[in-house]
Amino acid sequence: MSAFAVAPTIFDLPSVQIGDAEDNVGTDNNLFQFTNAFKFDDYVSDSDSTISQLKWSFDEPDQTAPLSGTVAWFTVNGMAAELVGTTNIANEATAGGVNHINPIRELRSVSQYASFRDIVFSFGPPNTLPYASPTGNPQIAHAAGKVVRFYVSDGTNVSSKDTLVTTVDNAFDAISGGFTFKISSDDGFTTNITNTNSAGPGWFYSSSGGTNAGAYDAANTALRINQTATGNANQFNVSGWTTTLSDWLPYGMVGSTNVVRGKFWVFASGQSPNTANIVPDLRLKLQNASAVACELEVLARNANATEDTRGAELQPSSNASLPSLYRLDYDPVDVPYLASNGASQGFGGITRTFEAYNIGFPAVNGNLSLAQSVIGVYPAAYIADGAALTDQPYRTYITGPTGLQNFNGTDYNAYKVSGGSGNTLGSVLTTPPIPTVTYNGSTGVTLDSSALADSTDIYVASADFSPIPKAGANWVTSDYQGAVKVDVNQQYKIRFHLVSSRNSNLQSQIRVRARSDRFAWAVKQEFGGAYPTNSSINTSIAAQTLPGINCLNPDTGTLPGGTDGGWYTVILHTPLSADIRPDVAGPITTKMPFLSSCPGPGVGNTAGTANENIRRMIFFGMDIVDSFSSGANKNLEGGNVTCDQVEIRTYNLLPD
């Protein structure tokens, strides 16, 4: 790095690979552009300037072998380099970077993100698709790349940093050399991109029942869901907006080396009366077709006035100009079907869903609106086991079968839901036949509905695991101090080792989950059932993902004889986030006064009530649901799964 006087400091920039696979849908367009490769502000610091006001520019050296000569290859944010040529760059360094203190082509004035284009292979815009395929020496040289120099200036002082930029044919855009969130799609809804055709571009609306309506809100540039009060505590209201195939995140951008992140900006409006306990609950999803879903549930309401007040800290903002930001991360099980269908608009991609979600609260009404939604990826290495925080013992919890017991006598449950239809809730019954939940000190906890005959009833078995491996009545101060609890600016990885001796293509839905703030904040991953619909896309993904014989989860761990399965990952973001309450000024203690006051990591049972003392703990569990499937062969489904190990690790929140 070169530095001149007291200058801003550029951190290590990621190397950039410009591909064209994102834009190849049916035709090899050879459009080599990488939109939003990285965010400028994430890679710079300045002790006496506002980083968003710093000025960015770049230079390009000569061509690389087997080519030679001074030829520009790239634009960044539609702008050419300030200087092109190795000699010119060397002279600029000698001169102290004077041409970059107030650059003619200032990149951040266009966007806070750096977007690259190879103008040799993809000249323009406007685009003239398809471009010719790269061949010969130019293809070889561009694949080797150029070391491009970026500059940042505060108007008086300037510093620089080099990074490699390559162009690779028939590859996806990629960055490396840094833990950076790479955006694939950023939907701001400044135009109406709704579509009644789920195969067309944009987002489409659907309802699972209830008094709902979806529309584009032109005044607030948002996707709106409106709920009318049902007036009936025995009914549910669920509806939402989902991305169409054209807006799916290609699995090829994810693979085994990345994790998916979705960001959703949401606001509430139109409630009558305008009270917190009238706002619909919120559910956000990232999912592979209808086979596997990762969900964030924000269940802020309760049939209790005190809990409603506490839950309001997590509810969407009521200010359309300052919507709440919710994050959801998804680590897909890397099964072959996803990889084989990883291209743009391939059926291995990941879709987004935004839902208003009301179960049994008759007075709930009004709007939830999605003001913006972003999806992208970050390196899985960021949440590798070895990268977790280990500075304190309360950062990690790992347990085998001994920690999965029914310590309180109420941690395991089995029941059936009978009589539900349409948007009417059924009755919960514990009379036989119901599933079984069994514990074995050597093998773990097994949930089983496989022996039950096909029925119109929904069979459920669940195991709620204790964050402290003993009965709650026996917890002491050191137990509270050692439990993993949510804190500001953190994310958590919860891994479940699941196995089964049942064929994976006969399994009912299997679900793993984690929650905090009691039941107000929960992340779930739902796998299957084996026949969720009649689509071969869904049955293929489900059969390869569900634990059991012929499961193709590559992360197997240690499998007991006669079983198959592996590790399944849930990523929980802290609910203690200032981004959820941008409409409330001040620090987190002002934005979320109750949750922030509850005992946090390393703190004992110092609060006045048991609920406060456990409020920030992370609870976790698993379920089988037999069956929500609608496929013709759903009668073949029956659940059987054993959990023999759970691991929880803590990480700082990845900047995005």
pLDDT tens readout for residues 571-596: 999 999 999 999 999 999 999 999 99
Mapped onto helix, strand or coil, the DSSP state of residue 199 is: coil
The residue type found at 275 is T
The reported pLDDT for the residue numbered 178 is: 66
Neighbours of 108 (CB within 10 A): 21
Distances, alpha carbon 382 to alpha carbons 325, 493, 557, 650, in Å: 22, 11, 20, 11
Residue 489 phi/psi, 5-degree rounding, is 55, 40
Q: Which of 250, 553, 488, 222 is nearest to 371 (CA)?
A: 222
Contact 529, 626 (CB under 8 A): yes
pLDDT at 179 over 80: no
Which range among 107-116, 199-208, 304-313, 322-331 shows the weakest confidence by mean pLDDT? 199-208
d(CA 572, CA 127): 41
Distances, alpha carbon 430 to alpha carbons 334, 433, 485, 526, 563, in Å: 37, 8, 33, 23, 29
Structure-token pair, residue 158: 């300037």
Strands 15-18, 55-60: pairing is unpaired
* Residue 453 DSSP code: P
539: left (phi over 0), alpha (psi -120 to 50) or beta: alpha
* Residue 79 DSSP code: B
Mapped onto helix, strand or coil, the DSSP state of residue 194 is: strand
Structure-token pair, residue 406: 């029914």
The residue type found at 461 is A
How many Å is the maximal CA-CA distance in the chain?
A: 84
d(CA 120, CA 142): 9
The reported pLDDT for the residue numbered 6 is: 58
The reported pLDDT for the residue numbered 551 is: 99
The reported pLDDT for the residue numbered 476 is: 98
Contact 368, 49 (CB under 8 A): no
Share of the chain above pLDDT 70, in %: 98
Q: What is the pTM of this model?
A: 0.82
The reported pLDDT for the residue numbered 1 is: 36
If you average pLDDT over each of 22-26, 583-587, 642-646, which comes out highest? Answer: 642-646
The reported pLDDT for the residue numbered 5 is: 40
pLDDT at 2 over 70: no
pLDDT at 210 over 80: no
Q: Which of 486, 507, 510, 519 is nearest to 568 (CA)?
A: 510
CA angle, 207 as apex, 202 and 210 as ends, to 5°? 150
Instruction: Choose between 349 and 129: higher pLDDT.
Output: 349
pLDDT at 4 over 80: no
Per-residue pLDDT, averaged over 29-51, amounts to: 87
pLDDT at 164 over 50: yes
* Residue 129 DSSP code: S
Contact 590, 474 (CB under 8 A): no
Task: Quote the mean pLDDT of the chain.
Answer: 94
Structure-token pair, residue 323: 């919507």
* Residue 3 DSSP code: B
Distances, alpha carbon 395 to alpha carbons 390, 466, 520, 615, in Å: 6, 16, 22, 17
pLDDT at 556 over 90: yes
Could you give the dihedral angle defined by the CA atoms of residues 599, 612, 651 and 528, in that order, rounded to the nearest 10 degrees? 170
d(CA 300, CA 385): 32
d(CA 113, CA 169): 23
d(CA 133, CA 121): 8
42: left (phi over 0), alpha (psi -120 to 50) or beta: alpha
The residue type found at 134 is P
With b meaning 16 or more CB within 10 Å and e meaning fewer, what string describes 481-507? bbbbbbbeebbbbbbbbbbbbbbbbbb
Tell me which residue has tokens 């999965």. Answer: 404
Strands 490-500, 564-573: pairing is antiparallel
Distances, alpha carbon 373 to alpha carbons 355, 523, 598, in Å: 13, 18, 31
pLDDT at 3 over 60: no
The reported pLDDT for the residue numbered 253 is: 93
pLDDT tens digits along 399-449 = 999 999 999 999 999 999 999 888 889 999 999 999 999 999 999 999 999
Per-residue pLDDT, averaged over 135-143, amounts to: 96
The reported pLDDT for the residue numbered 519 is: 95
d(CA 244, CA 267): 22
| DSSP assignment string, 500-552 | ESSBGGG--EEEEEEEETTTTEEEEEEE--S-SSS-HHHHHHHHHHSSSBT--
The residue type found at 623 is D
Residue 394 phi/psi, 5-degree rounding, is -80, 5
* Residue 385 DSSP code: G
Q: Which domains does the chain have, with CATH numbers?
A: 9-178 (no CATH), 203-381 (2.60.120), 388-652 (no CATH)
Contact 333, 557 (CB under 8 A): no
d(CA 419, CA 620): 29
Instruction: Choose between 606 and 390: higher pLDDT.
Output: 606
Per-residue pLDDT, averaged over 182-208, amounts to: 88
pLDDT tens digits along 249-274 = 999 999 999 999 999 999 999 999 99
**Helical segments of 387-495, H only:** 477-482
**Helical segments of 69-178, H only:** 86-94, 136-144
